[in-house]
Amino acid sequence: MSDTVLARDCTAPVNVQTPVVERGQRAVFCGLTSIVWLHRRIQDAFFLVVGSRTCAHLLQSAAGVMIFAEPRFATAILQDRDLAGMADCHEELDRVVEELLGRRPEIKTLFLVGSCPSEVIKLDLNNAAQRLQKRYESRVRMVAYSGSGIETTFTQGEDNCLAELVATTPRPRGGQAPALIVAGTLADVVEDQFARLFEALGIGPVAFLPARNAEETPVPGPDTKVLLAQPFLTVTAQALRDRGAEILSAPYPLGAEGTLLWLKAAADAFDVAGAHFDEVTAAPLARARTAVGHQRETLADKRVSFLPDSQLEVPLARFLARECGMLVQSIATPFHDPTLMEAEQALLDPTVPIVEGGDLGLRLDNIRDERPDLTVCGLGIANPLEAEGLRSKWSIELIFSPIQGFDQAGDLAALFSRPLKRTAQLEV
Ligand code: SF4
């Protein structure tokens, strides 16, 4: 990795390509999938999906058919009805909520999650949440958002959830707004590492969104700065701006370089002296570089292409190209937010084609032409590609794994080197 990366000003305007927008058939999971990681993170919350049997099956299989004594998500299944039957639907929903809250007094926040069957679309869940909020005023907070498959991809489920959480969180009475909010779900271990680094840098108070308890959702004040830990939070970023926060422009904390520049954006915003920043980050940075270096031998000069799935595509491409020496052939991403991607694109080779949206047929044809050593793609596409002799990496694995931060940089690189090593072993 280049030692000169910090010389680049990530906030400066850069000459970046505008992605080609392609529309057509897609193959991605819907936003309900995000409940699998959100319910683990927000421990005082319950996610009640209002949906169909398909939604219930998706959640069960995405969650690995986990058996809990006290699960924190469920599906209220609506049968098909016409508009005249909607009053019954509301009554049914009220009954389910009453039963649930009667049995589970520990629930402090109830997310009503919308889905895409037509009978659910007819039901106004925002209104339902307001009605139920009046009924359970001081006992439970009600938040409605959409996890519907009509949205572009599964990570939008988290974006919609966090945006609604921010928009509906009451302003703290007399409490101090955090100086810095880190937005985007992180594994607890990663959050703890970042909290220690911010403390060592003298930046604080720092809050994380989502908090481990929804009741502690941070609300920004006019002086609050926000670092996005995930690149798919377009709506959440806007909700935070609406509350007066400033979103800091930075690459995402993937890899040694990404983490360093992400922390540097915060350090600059809080006037941390350069020498102190170098002192705090030197040891973990060195560890991260060494750990990535161990995987570089396998990854260097291998060709990688991205199919649209997780919205992590651009930051991952930057990491694989700059730190692992991979040759990025093409990037397709479900949705491209030029503002949130500005600092990432500044680090990317501008000749790498980026496609936003993507037509599945055209994208697969492109992969067959490119024949990369590794294709980062959705779960449903991986097997057909493997059958054609093309190695694949499921992008959803990158959402479920702790990959952010210095101490995870080596693990992140290893996720990509593993399928290549397996191929090499099979060839032997
Ligand atoms: Fe399927 Fe729509 Fe339910 Fe998702 S929300 S599981 S896409 S029916």
Across the range 210-237, mean pLDDT stands at: 93
DSSP-based three-state secondary structure for 246: strand
Identify the pLDDT of residue 3: 40
- Least confident interval from 72-81, 124-133, 215-224, 355-364: 72-81
Per-chain mean pLDDT for the chain: 89
How many other β-carbons are positioned within 10 Å of the β-carbon of residue 341?
24
Of the CA atoms within 13 Å of residue 194, those in its CB half-sphere come to 34
- Whether the per-residue pLDDT at 290 is higher than 90: the answer is yes
Report whether 50 contacts 386 (CB < 8 A).
Answer: no
- Least confident interval from 72-86, 152-166, 185-199, 266-280: 72-86
* Interval 361-377: pLDDT, tens: 999 999 999 999 999 99
Of the CA atoms within 13 Å of residue 226, those in its CB half-sphere come to 29
% of the chain exceeding 70 in pLDDT: 91
Q: What is the identity of the amino acid at 400?
A: F
- Whether the per-residue pLDDT at 11 is higher than 70: the answer is no
- Whether the per-residue pLDDT at 172 is higher than 90: the answer is no
213 alpha carbon – ligand 1 mean position (Å): 27
Q: List C-alpha distances in Å: 143 to 147, 160, 218, 360.
A: 13, 11, 15, 34
Report whether 162 contacts 237 (CB < 8 A).
Answer: no
Q: Residue 183 forms beta bridges with which residues?
A: 209, 228
What's the CA angle centered on 127, arms 72 and 149, to 5 degrees? Answer: 60
- Whether the per-residue pLDDT at 423 is higher than 70: the answer is yes
The whole-angstrom distance between residue 387's C-alpha and the CA centroid of its chain comes to 29
- Whether the per-residue pLDDT at 73 is higher than 70: the answer is yes
With a CB cutoff of 8 Å and minimum separation 6, the contacts of 399 are 37, 154, 155, 310, 312
- Least confident interval from 16-30, 92-106, 125-139, 239-253: 16-30
In the structure, what pLDDT confidence band is assigned to residue 140 with cuts at 50, 70 and 90? Answer: very high
Identify the pLDDT of residue 69: 54
How many other β-carbons are positioned within 10 Å of the β-carbon of residue 141?
23
Q: Is 31 in the pocket of ligand 1 (CB under 6 A)?
A: no
* Interval 378-404: pLDDT, tens: 988 999 999 999 999 999 899 989 999
- Comparison of pLDDT for 159 and 57, the residue scoring more: 159
Q: Is 149 in the pocket of ligand 1 (CB under 6 A)?
A: yes
DSSP-based three-state secondary structure for 169: coil
In 3-state terms the chain splits into helix, strand, coil percentages (rounded to 5) of 50, 15, 35
- Least confident interval from 44-48, 53-57, 231-235: 53-57
Identify the pLDDT of residue 117: 82
- Whether the per-residue pLDDT at 125 is higher than 50: the answer is yes
DSSP-based three-state secondary structure for 143: strand
Across the range 401-411, mean pLDDT stands at: 97
Place of tokens 């997310």: 111
Q: Which helix (H) or strand (E) holds 330?
A: strand 327-333
DSSP-based three-state secondary structure for 117: coil
- Whether the per-residue pLDDT at 62 is higher than 80: the answer is no
Report whether 60 contacts 122 (CB < 8 A).
Answer: no
Q: Is 238 in the pocket of ligand 1 (CB under 6 A)?
A: no
Highest mean pLDDT of the ranges 127-141, 187-201, 214-228? 187-201
Nearest CA to ligand 1 atom 6: 55
Across the range 112-133, mean pLDDT stands at: 89
Q: Which domains does the chain have, with CATH numbers?
A: 5-23+292-427 (3.40.50.1980), 31-151 (3.40.50.1980)
Tokens coding 38: 């959100």
Identify the pLDDT of residue 173: 54
Place of tokens 């058996």: 67
57 alpha carbon – ligand 1 mean position (Å): 9
Q: Is 32 in the pocket of ligand 1 (CB under 6 A)?
A: yes
Q: Is 239 in the pocket of ligand 1 (CB under 6 A)?
A: no
In the structure, what pLDDT confidence band is assigned to residue 246 with cuts at 50, 70 and 90? Answer: very high
